[in-house]
Amino acid sequence: MSDAVVLAERPAAGVLLVRINRPEARNALNLEVRRLLARHLTESGEDPTVRCVVLTGNEKSFAAGADIKEMAGATTVDMIARGTAKLWRAIAACPKPVIAAVNGFALGGGCELAMTCDIIIAGESAKFGQPEVRIGIIPGGGATQRLTRAVGKYKAMRYILTGDLFSAREAFDMGLVSEIVPDAEVEKRALEMAQKIAELPPLAIEQAKEAVLRGMDAALDTGLALETKSSQLLFSSQDQKEGMAAFIEKRKPRFQGK
């Protein structure tokens, strides 16, 4: 088993911490890391004991981009054979909420990795960016689409076409970052939020995530119809009955994901 991605002990019930562990390369995303991330997030999505995932790096880098040394001499055929598009889809497809805890650099593929997550908690000193044009390529892990959807055409164009980096504050102001905290508190805050989510009814959480993601690119009427059906569906769950009974009885609910 490689240690390029470390699955830490669960810090709280229902919470899984996944840490990228290539400090010597500023957590650059080589093919091995991408494959392990895809596998771990796929397994997390299928594990009923996991209710929320926190994805992080270290205090200096979330992930400083793709591993350029690994691809510098690659041909078009080589890049197709790598199959990274399938790995990105697997990472983004996790049905459980995924929180990115970002310290240091989140550049190129690292910024794209954060954007596959549902919530981004960033340290005050974090730096984001899509600098691919500076080495003769363009983003290949979703930034031309996800960044544009997150911040709008004109902000996305400004950073994708120049390769300039932007701060956590700028990312927050643009709507890319969910919350900014002191650098030393990033992981703690992400885990606190993950624990809060993990204590909520998992079926409702998964349905809410799906409604948001599926509805984003659909017509408003289609998204609203999905929301309505998802809401109605949850009335067949034991958690809905428990949640409403607990509310009426003024007690803490016990959600079991049923």
Which residues does the annotation mark as catalytic? Answer: 66, 109, 112, 132
What is the C-alpha separation between 47 and 7, in angstroms, rounded? 14
What is the C-alpha separation between 77 and 80, in angstroms, rounded? 5
DSSP state of 239: H
Those residues with Cβ within 8 angstroms of residue 24's Cβ, 6 or more apart along the chain or in another chain:
none
8: left (phi over 0), alpha (psi -120 to 50) or beta: beta
Cα 89–129–101 angle (5° rounding)? 65
Taken as a whole, the chain contains a residue count of 258
Neighbours of 12 (CB within 10 A): 17
Terminal Cα distance for the chain, rounded: 34
Identify each DSSP E strand in 33-155 by its residue range: 52-56, 61-63, 98-102, 105-107, 119-123, 127-129
